[in-house]
Amino acid sequence: MDEVTGAQLVAEALKSQNVEYMFGIVGVPIIEVAMAAQAAGIKYVGMRNEQAACYAASAIGYLTGRPAVCLVVSGPGLIHALGGMANANMNCWPVIVIGGSSDRNQETTGAFQEFPQVEACRLYSKFSARPSSLEMIPAVVEKAVRSSIYGRPGASYIDIAGDMVNAKIDRANVRFVSCCPAPPVSQADSREITQAVRLLRAAQRPLIIIGKGAAYARAEKEVRELVEVTGIPFLPTPMGKGILPDDHPNCVAAARSRALLQADVIVLLGARLNWILHFGFPPRFSPHVKIIQVDLCAEELSNNVRAASALLGDIGAVVRQLLETVRSWRFPSDSQWWLTLKEKMTANAQISKSLALRSTLPMNYYTAFHHISELLPKDCIIVSEGANTMDIGRTMLLNYLPRHRLDAGTFGTMGVGPGFAIAAAVLEQTQKSAQRVVCIEGDSAFGFSGMEVETMCRYKLPIIIIVINNNGIYSGVDPKTWKEMEKMGDMTTIAPPVTLLPEARYEQVMSAFGGRGYLVRTVEELRSALQESLNNTQMNLGLLDYPYII
């Protein structure tokens, strides 16, 4: 008899579904699952909080198109991971969460860390189930992986009862399932394509919006061809940045508000009309705008604004259909639309340049980002979170390659940065690529998952973290005011809720674990510390920046 344990079955099933990475925190009852995964050739990254582990696993899903696993213990472990699951599901990113749970014969008795996990995960996932027996583990793993990548991508949950982990079964009795094929690709209805091209040809002020769905779809070649053949201006969403380079001549990000407001026909490629795009509503959009919407999720079509042309299908395939129909039609580059957009872009560029060149101390965001962007290599992966840090960073830090920007995303989740950076760096390490991962954090955002710096140092991941410290959430108070407040009495009644400890030495978190930490206040210090960090590719690096932003 060739016996196999439940843990081995989980690991082998994942491997046979081409799952390559697992992030998690082990404990009873899933230690053996992590060990079996490593034995099966899956890379295991032990993290410090399940939430960050889930962020990391979901970033692998977005960056590779194949889900990674977040492995957690029962009860609290699983509950911590729910934040990451929700974030992945909202972002439409695939991830597989595997939770250990109580032994089946202890269910409903108040067992250690007992919780209704399958039910709890239903709200945060596309698929949530427990294999009914050891025989069924490979089939459930295959369904979880398939559900996470077919249709609109998202999260799947697999519950493994504690007593199943070490239980054994004869291999001959297991229902093995081969690797699920890549997701099927569908095209739009040809009548809708004709209608879309008719709308485009009649447009006076056309605009293409490129969202992170196009990045996930790996449609950069097709989208570039559409932009360059038609000559239409384009606007990326935050994570749509880099599908075409931010310095592409058709990119009108510097005139975003005007482009959104005045466009009469918008081609929406893998972006939802949610808060990120002001719902497509006036006063940010014209009430008469016609939307040509491309999405693989039928339920998404016509959300908030009725689509004038609803193109249901894969972005790459649908854009190819558009290109075949649009043929050599080209929007004139000397049109009034281009003139008005260019005029606005020039004016806005002047404003941010003058802010960037101010030599105030502490530095302002624009100055810090201006110098950071001058030094960053074009192929680096930028992870960005924090309120002001992310918003201003989005406009100042350019992306040149697809899937090279990771941020708080659709759910606006803070604390994602370190997990995302770890995932990106682990991928870079596996691919032996020299691309740098630079994680630019607000001080408040950094606090949510700051202990993951230990994870970065433990695995020697070449990540640079820049903390833009303004002493609080949105912004805190300066050290002098803080000291005066301390003299006045009970800080719980005085300290503004937005404040964090002024002059906190975040760079010492990095040095505590053996990385390098720098405290910088001036432009010169910032440039020298960043350059030094970029030059050093051998060790894990930490640049913790303290420009004290006003």
Among 47, 296, 307, 467, binds ligand ADP (CB under 6 A): 296
Q: Would you say 88 or 453 has its CB closer to ligand ADP?
A: 88
Among 131, 213, 242, 402, binds ligand ADP (CB under 6 A): 213
Q: What residues form DSSP beta bridges with 159?
A: 99
Q: Which stretch binds ligand ADP (CB under 6 A): 206-214, 353-361, 395-403, 452-460?
A: 206-214
222 binds ligand ADP (CB under 6 A): no
- Alpha helices (runs of H) in 478-522, residue ranges in sequence order: 479-488, 491-494, 507-512
CB of 493 to ligand ADP, least distance (A): 40
Q: What residues form DSSP beta bridges with 468?
A: 442
Q: Which stretch binds ligand ADP (CB under 6 A): 37-45, 134-142, 232-240, 358-366?
A: 232-240
Q: Would you say 241 or 436 has its CB closer to ligand ADP?
A: 241
240 binds ligand ADP (CB under 6 A): yes
Q: Would you say 201 or 284 has its CB closer to ligand ADP?
A: 284
154 binds ligand ADP (CB under 6 A): no
219 vs 229: CA distance, rounded Å: 15
288 vs 98: CA distance, rounded Å: 47
Residue in the structure block whose two tokens are 């410090």: 48
Window 81-120: contact mask with ligand ADP (x via CB under 6 A): ----------xx----------------------------
237 binds ligand ADP (CB under 6 A): yes
For the packed helices 6-16 and 137-149, what is the interaxial angle rounded to 10 degrees? 40
**Residues 148, 67: contact at Cβ < 8 Å?**
yes
Q: Would you say 60 or 271 has its CB closer to ligand ADP?
A: 271
SS (H, E, C) 116-128: CHHHHHHCCCCEE
- Going by C-alpha positions, the residue among 219, 244, 220, 218 that lies closest to residue 233 is 244
Size of the site for ligand ADP (CB under 6 A): 23
- Going by C-alpha positions, the residue among 528, 471, 525 that lies closest to residue 500 is 471
Among 127, 216, 448, 546, binds ligand ADP (CB under 6 A): 216
Q: Which residue is nearest to ligand ADP (CB)?
A: 213
If DSSP codes are grouped into helix, strand and coil, which group holds residue 203? coil
Q: How many CB atoms lie within 10 A of CB 336?
A: 10
Residues 402-431 that bind ligand ADP (CB under 6 A): 410
CB of 302 to ligand ADP, least distance (A): 12
Cα 228 from chain centroid?
27
41: left (phi over 0), alpha (psi -120 to 50) or beta: left
Query: Residue 356: what are its φ and ψ, rounded to 5°?
Result: -65, -30
Q: What angle do CA 93, 95, 96 make, to 5 degrees?
A: 160
Beta strands at 168-170 and 3-5: parallel, antiparallel or unpaired: antiparallel
Q: How many CB atoms lie within 10 A of CB 496?
A: 12
| 159 contacts: CB under 8 Å, gap ≥ 6 | 99, 101, 117, 118, 121, 128, 129, 130
Among 167, 297, 398, 498, binds ligand ADP (CB under 6 A): 297
Among 314, 385, 428, 507, binds ligand ADP (CB under 6 A): 314
CB of 510 to ligand ADP, least distance (A): 30
| Amino acid residing at 200 | L
149 vs 409: CA distance, rounded Å: 19
**Residues 21, 43: contact at Cβ < 8 Å?**
yes
300 binds ligand ADP (CB under 6 A): yes
- Going by C-alpha positions, the residue among 509, 414, 415 that lies closest to residue 456 is 509
Q: Which stretch binds ligand ADP (CB under 6 A): 26-34, 103-111, 233-241, 505-513?
A: 233-241
Q: Would you say 80 or 212 has its CB closer to ligand ADP?
A: 212
CB of 94 to ligand ADP, least distance (A): 10
254 binds ligand ADP (CB under 6 A): no
CB of 398 to ligand ADP, least distance (A): 17
Window 37-76: contact mask with ligand ADP (x via CB under 6 A): ----------------------------------------
CB of 362 to ligand ADP, least distance (A): 32
- Alpha helices (runs of H) in 65-207, residue ranges in sequence order: 76-91, 117-122, 137-149, 162-165, 190-202
CB of 33 to ligand ADP, least distance (A): 30
Tokens for 493? 């009644």
Window 265-294: contact mask with ligand ADP (x via CB under 6 A): -----xxx-x-x------------------
Q: How many residues does the structure list for the chain?
A: 550
CB of 211 to ligand ADP, least distance (A): 3
Question: Where do contacts with ligand ADP occur on this chain (CB under 6 A)?
Answer: 91-92, 152, 211-213, 216-217, 237, 239-240, 270-272, 274, 276, 295-297, 300, 314-315, 410
